[in-house]
Amino acid sequence: TQLLEQSPQFLSIQEGENLTVYCNSSSVFSSLQWYRQEPGEGPVLLVTVVTGGEVKKLKRLTFQFGDARKDSSLHITAAQPGDTGLYLCAGARDYGQNFVFGPGTRLSVLP
């Protein structure tokens, strides 16, 4: 049983479109991170959210942490081919515990 679920599993869109991917859990997390991983490389941290309801923006990416700290979303505006990759969410329940990863959303942005 996955502690973190991500949807959709796969997403293929055209350049310039907007998209939202989701990360959901029945557990409460003290913090949640989003990472992007490209083929043959390790994941790269995009953002950390720690407060329920928090919204963070990183250029065309907007991250939101749910009020109950059980879910998060990542919205990309005007997607570009360079956004292609595997988007992973990861949660930590308490300090000193490990980070649990979701299965990822594989995004393909076509030119």
Give the binding site for other proteins (CB under 8 A): 6, 30-31, 33, 35, 40-45, 48, 50, 86, 88, 90, 92, 95-104, 106
Tell me the closest approach of the beta carbon of residue 103 to other proteins, in angstroms.
4
| Residue closer to other proteins (CB basis): 42 or 111 | 42
In this structure, what are the phi and psi dihedrals at residue 104, rounded to the nearest 5 degrees?
Answer: 95, 155
Token code pair at residue 70: 């059980």
Cα angle: 95, vertex 106, 61; to 5 degrees: 65
Tell me the closest approach of the beta carbon of residue 110 to other proteins, in angstroms.
19
| Residue closer to other proteins (CB basis): 10 or 111 | 10
